[in-house]
Amino acid sequence: EAGVAQSPRYKIIEKRQSVAFWCNPISGHATLYWYQQILGQGPKLLIQFQNNGVVDDSQLPKDRFSAERLKGVDSTLKIQPAKLEDSAVYLCASSWPQDTQYFGPGTRLTVL
């Protein structure tokens, strides 16, 4: 079984620039999550999708972050404009329908 795929693996941008991350969940997994993990901390949920609908985005900074999951499969997370404090690893995870989550390798974002 293929795992959760993410790209890019690393991204370096300057503050105020835009960036987008892509996630392809495990085939058949209806639930998709985006997490932000700052160095030395646990993952913090940004947004949770059930198929292509948003279940929880209460911790998503909506003034600069957006996410979509068209067709209920792949998802993209965008930051526009980026701030220094956005430097973190962005993890995507999927599960069916809730319960055990499988994580992707993450995208390490550095904002200069």
Question: Which of the stretches 12-20, 64-72, 73-81, 101-109 binds other proteins when contact is defined by CB under 8 A?
Answer: 101-109
Q: 20 CB contacts (<8 Å, ≥6 apart)?
A: 76, 77, 78, 79
Closer CB to other proteins, 81 or 96, in the complex: 96
Q: Does 98 bind other proteins (CB under 8 A)?
A: yes
Site string for other proteins, 24-53 (x = CB under 8 A): ---------x------xxxxxx--x-x---
Shortest Cβ distance from residue 90 to other proteins (Å)? 11
